[in-house]
Amino acid sequence: MTLRHSLSHRRALLCVGKGARDSAREPGGNAMKSTQLLATAATIALLPAAASALGVDRTGQNITVLFEKGNYAELSFAHGMPDVTGEDSDLYAAPNVLALPGGADIDNVGNDFNQFGAALKMDIDDKLSFALIFDKPFGSDGEYDDAPSVPTPGGDSSNLLGGTKAKLKSKAITALARYKFNENYSVHGGLRYTNVEADVTLRGLAFGGLSGYSADFEDDWDLGYVIGAAYERPELALRVALTYNSKTEHKLHTEENLPLALQGAFGLPAQVTSTTTVEIPESVNLDFQMGLNPKTLLFGQLRYAWYEDFQTSPRVFDAAADPGNDGTSLTEASDKWSLKIGVGRQLTDKLAGSITLGYEPDEDNNVLTPLNPASDGFKSIALGLAYKATDAVTISGGVTYISLNDTRVGTGIPREERATFDSNDIVAVGMKVGYRF
C-alpha cells in the first residue's frame, strides 16, 4: 500500500468513527433530549413494577432523579390492585388426626393501595448537585374476611385465618448530594429520614389461644444514610450506579390487646404496653442504562435487601408464641434479590415507549407468614410511555402486570401449613409529571 493510500485509508476510518459518535450524540437531531425522554419512559415503567418487590418493598428506594440533567422536579402516583385468593388447608389436631377438613375459600386478601412520590433536583455548579426525595418505600395491606361463626369445611370464608389482618405504612425524606469528578466518575450520598407504623390482628382457628390478639405499633422516625458511586459515558448514554441504603432502627410504642386465653395464662390485663424494636433492612441497588442505538435505550435495576433482619417481636406475643425462646416474630422474610430489565424506544420527537420485565425468586418452598401471602416472588411485565408536552414538561404513564408465585402460609412453631395461594396477580398503574427549569 502506498503512503497516499495509507493516509487516505486512515482519514476514511476517522470519518466513520466521527460519524458513529455524532450519531450516538444526535438521535433525531438532539441526543440529550432524546436520552432524557427515553430515561423518563424507563423510570415510569419501573415505578409500578416495584409494587410487590421483596414483599413489603414498594419503591425500590429509587434515586435516579439525582442523574437528571439540569434543574428538575417531578410528582408521581401509582395505584396497585392485588388479587390474592387462596384456600384453607386441612387442620390436624395431632399427626394424622384430622380436626377440620380444608377447602374453605379465601377471598381476596390484598387491599388496593396508593403510592405517592415527589422529588426536586438542582445543580449548584457543573460538578455539584443535590436532590430532595419524598416516597413511601415500604408497605403492606392484607385482610382476610371474617371466619364463619360455625366452622364450615369447604365454605366461602377461611375457618383457619378469617379476620386476620396486617398493615404496614411508611414514608421517607431523602436528601442527597452528588459530586462529579469528571464526565465519567461521580459519587453520591446523603441522609434518609424514615417513618414506619403498623397494626396486626390475629384471628382464626390456626392461631389457637392467640386468636383474638392484636397489636398497634405507633409511628417512629429514624435517620439512615445513602452512599454510592457512578460511572458514565454520556456519548453512549451509558450509566452504571451502585447505591447502598443503610438500615434504620425504629422503637415503636406498642399496645398489645390480649384474648382471654392469654390473659388467664399469663395473669395479664386486657391491654399491655411496651416498646418493640423493628429494623428496616439495609439494601443495595445496581442501576444501569446503555444506548443500543441512537433511539434505543437498555436499562434495568438489580436490588438486594437483607430482610432476615426485619423482625417484629412484641413482648407478650414473643412470650406466648414460643415460651422459653426469645425473638419469636410476627413477621418473617428471607434475604432476597430482584431484577428488572427493559428497553426504551424513541417513537417520535415527542413520544417514547418502554417495556420492562421483572423477576424475583421464591423462598425454596418455605411456609410463609399469613400476614403477607403475596411476598414469595413474582414475574412481571410493564409498559411505559413518556410524552414531551413542552420543552419543560414531560408527562408519562405506565401499567404493570405482576404474576405472583404460588405460596403456602402457616402458623405455629415450627410453622405448619394452614392455607395455599395459587395463580394470583397484581395490576398496577402509575403516572408522573416532570418539569425542567
Q: Residues 260-273: what's their mean pLDDT?
A: 94
Residue 183 has pLDDT above 50, yes or no: yes
| Better-predicted residue by pLDDT, 169 or 94 | 169
149 within 8 A of 159, measured Cβ to Cβ: no
Cis amide bond preceding 414, omega within 30: yes
CB 47 within 8 A of CB 79: no
Question: Is the model's pLDDT at 27 over the cut of 70?
Answer: no
pLDDT recorded at residue 413 = 86
Joined together, the cell numbers standing for residue 208 give 389457637
Give the sheet arrangement for strand 416-421, strand by strand: 105-106, 86-88, 416-421, 407-411, 367-368
Nearest CA among 346, 375, 305 for reference residue 141? 375
DSSP code for 350? S
Residue 43's pLDDT is what? 64
Which has the closest alpha carbon to 419: 380, 367, 382?
367
**Average pLDDT for residues 205-221, to the nearest whole number?**
96
The pair phi, psi for residue 23, each rounded to 5°, is -65, -40
Cell of 153: 369445611
- Mean pLDDT within 261-273: 94
Confidence tier at 272 by pLDDT (50, 70, 90) = very high
Report the percent of the chain where pLDDT is more than 70. 87
Largest CA distance in the chain: 102
8 Å CB contact between 192 and 224: yes
CA dist., res. 156 & res. 297, Å (int): 49
What sign does the CA torsion over 391, 397, 356, 119 have? positive
Q: In terms of Cα–Cα distance, which of 135, 130, 276, 128 is closest to 193?
A: 135
Mean pLDDT of 202-220: 96
Rounded mean pLDDT of 364-378?
Answer: 86
Mean pLDDT of 19-40: 51
With cut-offs at 50, 70 and 90, classify the pLDDT of residue 13. very low
pLDDT tens, position by position, 308-348 = 889 999 999 999 998 888 889 998 888 889 999 999 999 99
Tell me whether residue 365 is exposed, middle or buried, using C-beta atoms within 10 angstroms of its C-beta: 0 to 12, 13 to 18, 19 or more: exposed
CATH number of 3-436: 2.40.160.60
Closest CA to 286 of 61, 34, 48: 61
Q: Tell me the average pLDDT across 21-37.
A: 50
Distance (Å, rounded) from C-alpha 215 to C-alpha 258?
A: 9
Q: What is the mean pLDDT of the segment spanning 102-131?
A: 95
Q: How far is CA 56 from the centre of its chain?
A: 6
- CA dist 164 and 373 (Å) reads 12
Average pLDDT over residues 119-142: 96
Q: How confident is the model at residue 29 (pLDDT cuts 50, 70, 90)?
A: very low
Q: Which alpha helices (DSSP H) does 26-85 contain, by range?
A: 31-49
**pTM, two decimal places:** 0.89
CA distances from residue 381 to 314, 354, 428 in whole angstroms, order as listed: 38, 11, 11
Please indicate whether residue 136 or residue 44 has the higher confidence score (pLDDT).
136
With beta carbons less than 8 A apart as the criterion, state whether 182 and 188 touch: no
Question: Nearest Cα to 172, choosing from 71, 63, 52, 255?
Answer: 63
The burial of 392, by beta-carbon neighbours within 10 Å (0-12 exposed, 13-18 middle, 19 or more buried), is given as exposed
Q: Which range has the worst mean pLDDT, 53-57, 126-130, 317-321?
A: 53-57
pLDDT at 20: 37
Contact 115, 77 (CB under 8 A): yes
pLDDT band at 117 (very low <50, low <70, confident <90, very high): very high
Q: Is the pLDDT of residue 81 over 80?
A: yes
**pLDDT of residue 7 exceeding 70:** no
Grid coordinates representing 135 are 416516597
Question: What average pLDDT score do residues 352-379 get?
Answer: 88
Q: What pLDDT score does 44 carry?
A: 61
**Mean pLDDT for the chain?**
88
